Amino acid sequence: MASETQDAQLADFGSCCEELNQVMSGEEFEPLVTVGGDGILYMSVGLIDIEEEEPGMVDHPVFYCPFCGTKVQDAEAIRTQLDAADEAEES
């Protein structure tokens, strides 16, 4: 179940067009476009074999809506945020 913060982020990211809103709010399927725990909008772009029985998803940040082309995130800001998270993990 999504938290209130995640619900607000979904509404923000899904506000550019009805198609993105529908994809992100689908209850009958696991959306391939979703907001991660870090507040970044991601799209699943592939599968990878992991040690568990089911494959894991490979996600990539989305900078523009795949349906209407509206800029939804700043690429440089996302890279900075992800780099900071990587540095924090290494410490």
- Write the CA distances from 39 to 8, 9, 12, 17, 91, integer angstroms: 10, 7, 11, 19, 22
Rounded to an integer, what distance in angstroms lies between the CA atom of residue 37 and that of residue 89? 15
pLDDT tens track of the chain, all 91 residues?
Answer: 344 444 444 458 889 999 999 988 878 888 899 999 999 999 999 988 887 777 888 999 999 999 999 999 999 999 999 999 888 888 7
- pTM summary value: 0.76
Query: What domain range is 17 assigned to?
Result: 4-90
Looking at the structure of the chain, the number of domains it has is: 1
- Reported in sequence order, the residue ranges of 1-91 that DSSP labels E, i.e. its strands, are 33-35, 41-48, 56-61
Q: Return the SS3 of 88.
A: helix
